[in-house]
Structures are given as C-alpha cells and as structure tokens.
Chain A
Amino acid sequence: KAGVTQTPRYLIKTRGQQVTLSCSPISGHRSVSWYQQTPGQGLQFLFEYFSETQRNKGNFPGRFSGRQFSNSRSEMNVSTLELGDSALYLCASSLEAEVLTGELFFGEGSRLTVL
C-alpha cells in the first residue's frame, strides 16, 4: 500500500512568487491535514480537509490556502511568498473513522526555500 506522497520534495522560490504543493493521501483516506514545520515554531497546523470541505483552519494569513479534490488529493497554495515561509510543509492523511483516535500518516514533506 503506497504511503502519503508529496510533490515536489524540494523547491526554491523568490519573494513575491507563489507556490503550489501537492499531496496524495493513502488510498481510502479521505481526511487530509497540512502542517508547517520550522526549527523555531515546530509543527503548526495549517488546515484539514475532509470530502472536499475545509473542516479546520489554523492561524495563518490568507496567503495560505488549500483545497481537496474528489479523489481526496489535496493542494496547498502560498501566494506572495515571504522569507519566513521557508519551511518543511507536511501533509498527513487518516481514515475518517480514526481521525480523532487514530494516528496520522505523514508524507516526507515539501521543503520550500524562499530567497
């Protein structure tokens, strides 16, 4: 069974540009969450999607957005990039039946560097 796949794994952008990151969850998982990981702040929750609906959103500016498609694949977009957006962006999926009590399955992340 394939794990959570995130693309691209690494990317470099300049300030002001925008970026789109993609996440394909484990087959059968309809819940997808996104986290930003930085050395200073640790893991911070961005958003969670289930069946194409955003169910929760973290405390990030509107430049950060996401969506989920009917096949449960998810994308997140960051517009007008700032230096502070440099981070590892992690996607995680889970079964809906276990979204509260079960574990999240994480991808290896997309490492974004903003110059």
Chain B
Amino acid sequence: AQSVAQPEDQVNVAEGNPLTVKCTYSVSGNPYLFWYVQYPNRGLQFLLKYITGDNLVKGSYGFEAEFNKSQTSFHLKKPSALVSDSALYFCAVRDLSGYSTLTFGKGTMLLVSP
C-alpha cells in the first residue's frame, strides 16, 4: 500500500527566509509525486509534480521540490517566504505500478510571519 508522511503539523518561518515543508513517501513501484496548497475555506490547488526526469521540479508561486529516491523524500522549498504563502500544504503520491488512486499526507500548516 502507498502512503505519505508529513512529519510536521506546522512550520513557522519569517518573511524573506527560506522555507522547507517535508514529505516522505512509500510506494511499491515508481512514484508520481505532487504538492497541493489549500487556502482557508477553499479547495486544493495544484503547485507542482514530479513524474520523471530532473529531480528538481519548479512550480507555481516560486515553489520548487526535490525528489530524492534514496531517501524517498519530496520536500517542498521556496528561497524567500511571503506572508501570503501562509496556508495548508499537502504532499500526495500515486504508484506507477498498476492503476492507483492519489494518496495525500495529512498536511502541514505553513505560517509566515511579517
């Protein structure tokens, strides 16, 4: 069975500082990996994905993520945080071996202080 772990319920960072939101995954085959963001009282919005190729993936709003197969991780990063980045972030995985659904982590709340 596939699974996603987001070890931090909340991440606090000051505006202008770099941010990292951690994600590790478990699948039996090769993974498709995704990051989504949820603003208050809204649905989820797609940020970026890793399918194949370059391990560093760039996405919306200046976010990027690095796929590390040996550590089974897909951490979300941004060089300089904005107050408007404050939101709930979800990592998700889909196993390539056979057809599977998208499994989400429990989410990490990012709070960026001015």
A residues sitting closer than 8 Å to B (CB atoms) are 4, 33, 35, 41-43, 45, 48, 55-56, 58, 90, 92, 100-109
Q: Across the interface, which residues of A come within 8 angstroms of B94, CB to CB?
A: 100
Bound Cα distance from A103 to B94, whole angstroms: 11
Bound: A106/B102 CA distance, A: 13
| Residues of B within 8 A of A (CB-CB), count | 23
Given A100-B32, A100-B94, is A106 in contact with B45 using a C-beta cutoff of 8 Å?
yes
Asked if B43 and A101 sit within 8 Å, CB to CB, the answer is no
Spell out B's residues near A (CB within 8 Å).
32, 34, 36, 41-46, 49, 51, 90, 94, 96, 99-107
- A106-B104 contact, Cβ under 8 Å, with A43-B90, A100-B32: no
Q: Which residues of A contact B51 (CB under 8 A)?
A: 101
Least Cβ–Cβ distance between A67 and chain B, in angstroms: 18
Q: Whole-angstrom distance between the alpha carbons of A104 and B94 in the complex?
A: 12
* A45, B102: Cβ atoms closer than 8 Å: yes
CB of A103 within 8 A of CB of B106, answer: no
Q: List 20 A-B contacts (CB under 8 A).
A: A33-B101, A33-B102, A41-B106, A42-B90, A43-B107, A45-B101, A45-B102, A55-B99, A56-B100, A58-B101, A90-B44, A101-B49, A101-B51, A103-B34, A103-B46, A104-B46, A106-B36, A106-B43, A107-B43, A108-B42
Return A104 CB to nearest CB of chain B, in Å.
Answer: 7
Q: Tell me which residues across on chain B come within 8 A of A43, comparing CB atoms.
A: 44, 90, 104, 106-107
Cα A56 to Cα B105 in complex, Å, equals 19
Cβ–Cβ < 8 Å partners of B103 in chain A: 45
Closest partner residue, chain A, to B49 (CB atom): A103
For the complex, what is the distance from the CA of A108 to the CA of B102, rounded to whole Å? 18
Complexed CA–CA distance, A68 and B97 (Å): 26
Please name all residues of chain A whose beta carbon is closer than 8 Å to the beta carbon of B107 when the two chains form the complex.
42-43
Tell me the complex Cα distance, A45–B104, Å: 9
**How far apart sit A114 and B101, CA to CA, in the bound complex (Å)?**
28
Whether A100 pairs with B99 at a CB distance below 8 angstroms is yes
A106-B44 contact in complex given A42-B107, A101-B49, A101-B51, C-beta closer than 8 Å: yes
For the complex, what is the distance from the CA of A42 to the CA of B44, rounded to whole Å?
A: 12
